[in-house]
Structures are given as C-alpha cells and as structure tokens.
C-alpha cells in the first residue's frame, strides 16, 4: 500500500491507497509540538508528539492497531508545494531531489520546510522505504514564457522571480477525473481558503492566477490577492518586511473585509461588511476569469473545486451570473482529490521504474 503525506508546519495529513487507487484510510496529526491529537479512521486520541518523526510514528502505531503493519506499506508519497524550475514532474526522492527541494526553500519558506520535515521523518522512522514527491507547481511548468515572465531586469529573473502557479495537484486531479470527457478549453476554479483559477487548454495549463507565490490572484480567506507592489513597499517601510508579509498572508482577504475568513459565516451574515466581502470575492474571481478566458480564446466549460467551489451553490451561481456574457456553459463540480493525485503520480513513477 502507498502512504500519502501532506505535511504542514505543525500537522501531518495522511491517506493510505491500494495500487488500484482505492483509498483505505485517511487521518491526520495536528498541533505537533503542542496539544497534539491523532485522528485516523474512527480512532481519535491525544499524543505526546513533539516532532514530525513522533507524528509519523504515531500514525504507524495507529495503523498497526487497525491491522496494517509497516511491512504492508511499500512506499510513501509527499506533497511538496514548490518544485521550482528543476522539479517539474513527480519524482523519486533521492539526494539530488531533496537538495533541489531545499534549494527552493527561499521560494516557499512557509511550505517547503514542513515537506522536508515530513520526508526526513519518514526516513528516520522507515529508512528503507522508497519515497516520492509531487509538486504543486509542476502542472504549470510548461506554460509559455509570456505567461510566466515578469517584466523585471534579467538579473532578478535569474534569481527565480517569475510566475509559478500553485494548486497544480488539484488541477491535475481534475483533468484526470474528466478523462476523455475533458473540454478543450476549461476554466478551472479552485475556491477554498486559497483561491486560484487556471486556463486549461487541451489538458495543459495555459495560464493561472497565482504567480511567484500563492498570494496573487483573487481575494482569499486571509490573503489579500493581487495588490500593487508599491502598496506592499509602503507597508514594509512602515511596519517591516516580516510584518507586512504576515499582514498580507494571514490578516487580509475575507477576514479583513468581513471580519471572518469563513465564507459560510459571511453568507449567513447580513451586515454591510459581510455582504461587501462576498461581493468583493465574486468580483475578484470573475475579474481574473475574464483574462483567462481571453488567454484561451474562449471557453467551453467551467469547473469548480475546493471547499467553497464544491459546497457553495450560491457562490457558484453568482460567479456564473457575472460570466453570463460568454453565453451558456456547462458547469461541473469536481471533488478535490489531491491525495489521490499524489498516489497516482507516485504509482506512475514506480511503474516507469519497473
């Protein structure tokens, strides 16, 4: 069986898959280093987990309690947010791949270090287990230079300042679920705490709303979305770089406009601030959508995924009302299956390895 891990700074989400991609179990360890808790299937308990290694060990113990031993796990596969320009496809984790992930830490300082911690925790606990990784940036790696290049001096472009795009595992999973029924020109919307849009033409990413980091694009739960660079410099000048980064990533977005990052709460709130926050969200999504439709030269269908995209019929309706100018379109709601996509990626690499 294949163990899929999505490691955060203080959490580990896991799912266990058979080779036919049937999911056997899912679970998570939260609050590592604090009041840690494990949830795996029906099992829920507190943990003394001060590290990711302790969290991985707790997951393996819980699996064994359910009759799944370490020998039943044939490989582990990880989600890594940023692969940079070197890691543009799922890969087996050897020394060179791990070094490349480490080299991309400056591009994703909040995301790649936890992924590395998860990889090292598995190595420490199961040193002989083959490990693989899928990269959130990989789906967008073949976009044309026009879509990825910032108009800045070459010396800065050489430092890796370019558009990368994210949520790639979500979009790749969407393409896989469509299969042969995939529309030629698909406007894909991943609407959750993070929000992005992707123009998918003939199954590949043509352009996307996120750029150098997951900050750009529409209004998000706690991220500002697109903001003029000079406004960012003004904030950094007044409160410092670190504080400005925190403000833009964790104190902005719906939380700043409506008082809460939760779309369900905003939709249930009749205050002016809540209504404006929802209106701003819908406006910002459709504002980006118009550009991506232009990039594709039109659109054949729209697909929603992510927590809001899957579960809020009202938000989907309001977005489609603002896109009525393109004419009637098929609208699909696709479950986000990032863990299954990671498993699919790893199994494909394993198959190529023979």
Question: What is the C-alpha separation between 233 and 68, in angstroms, rounded?
Answer: 53
* Cβ neighbours, 10 Å, residue 142: 11
> Is 345 among the residues known to form the active site?
no
Mark residue 12 as left, alpha or beta (left: phi above 0; alpha: psi -120 to 50; beta: remaining).
beta
Residue 284: alpha-carbon gap to chain centroid = 19
Q: What is the rounded (10 degree) CA torsion for 307, 174, 26, 116?
A: -90
304 phi, psi to nearest 5 deg: -110, 140
End-to-end CA distance of the chain: 16
* CA 4/CA 16 separation, integer angstroms: 6
Sheet holding 331-333, edge to edge: 204-208, 195-201, 185-191, 301-305, 331-333
Helix pair angle (338-353, 168-178), 10° resolution: 80
Given the residues 136, 180, 270, 300, select the one marked as catalytic: 136
Q: Label residues 210-219 b or e (16+ Cβ within 10 Å = b).
A: bbbbbbbbbb
Helix (H, G, I), strand (E, B) or coil at 30: strand
Instruction: Give catalytic residues, as residue numbers.
Output: 136
């Amino acid at each position: 069986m294949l163990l899929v891990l999505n490691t955060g700074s203080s959490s580990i989400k896991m799912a266990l898959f058979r080779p036919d991609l049937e999911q056997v179990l899912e679970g998570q360890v939260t609050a590592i280093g604090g009041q840690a808790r494990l949830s795996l299937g029906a099992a829920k308990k507190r943990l003394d987990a001060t590290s990711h290694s302790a969290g991985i060990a707790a997951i393996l113990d819980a699996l064994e309690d359910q009759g799944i031993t370490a020998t039943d796990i044939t490989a582990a596969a990880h989600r890594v947010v940023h692969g940079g320009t070197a890691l543009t496809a799922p890969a087996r984790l050897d020394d060179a791949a791990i070094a490349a992930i480490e080299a991309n830490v400056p591009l994703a300082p909040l995301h790649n270090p936890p992924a590395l911690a998860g990889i090292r925790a598995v190595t420490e606990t199961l040193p002989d287990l083959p490990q693989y990784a899928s990269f959130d940036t990989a789906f967008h790696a073949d976009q044309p230079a026009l879509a990825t290049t910032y108009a800045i001096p070459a010396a800065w472009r050489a430092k890796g300042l370019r558009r990368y795009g994210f949520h790639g595992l979500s979009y790749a999973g969407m393409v896989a679920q469509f299969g042969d029924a995939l529309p030629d020109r698909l406007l894909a919307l991943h609407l959750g705490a993070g929000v992005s849009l992707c123009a998918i033409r003939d199954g590949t990413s043509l352009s996307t709303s996120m750029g150098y980091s997951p900050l750009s694009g529409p209004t998000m739960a706690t991220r500002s979305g697109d903001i003029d660079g000079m406004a960012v410099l003004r904030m950094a000048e007044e409160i410092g770089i670190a504080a400005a980064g925190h403000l833009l990533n964790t104190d902005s977005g719906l939380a700043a406009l409506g008082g809460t990052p939760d779309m369900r709460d905003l939709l249930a709130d009749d205050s002016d601030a809540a209504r404006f926050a929802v209106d701003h969200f819908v406006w910002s999504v459709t504002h980006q959508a118009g550009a991506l439709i232009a990039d594709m030269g039109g659109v054949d269908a729209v697909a929603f995924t992510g927590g809001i995209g899957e579960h809020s019929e009202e938000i989907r309706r309001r977005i489609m009302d603002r896109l009525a100018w393109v004419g009637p379109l098929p609208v699909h709601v696709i479950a986000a299956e990032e863990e299954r996509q990671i498993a699919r990626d790893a199994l494909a690499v394993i198959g190529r390895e023979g």
